[in-house]
């Protein structure tokens, strides 16, 4: 689990470990622009895109 695509749909691959190391407070991890929110947002966008691709064809 050394890299993950976090934060946007542009395909920027970043180091998961580096992002975790940047988290110094709960806000960094759980806040409005926190790591968890960015990962969840990216995952949901990818799921919705896959569903649309499957539905539309």
d(CA 30, CA 36): 6
Looking at the predicted structure, is the pLDDT value of residue 4 above 70?
Answer: no
Q: 20 vs 5, 11, 35, 46, 53, CA distance in Å?
A: 13, 19, 8, 22, 32
pLDDT digits (tens, 9 = 90+) for 43-52: 899 999 999 9
Q: How many domains does the chain have?
A: 1
pTM exceeds 0.85, yes or no: no
Range of the domain at 18: 3-56
């Amino acid at each position: 689990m050394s890299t993950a695509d976090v934060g946007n749909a542009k395909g920027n691959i970043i180091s998961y470990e580096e992002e975790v190391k940047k988290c110094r407070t709960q806000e960094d991890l759980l806040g409005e622009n926190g790591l968890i929110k960015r990962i969840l947002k990216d995952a949901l966008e990818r799921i919705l895109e896959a569903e649309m691709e499957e539905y539309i064809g």
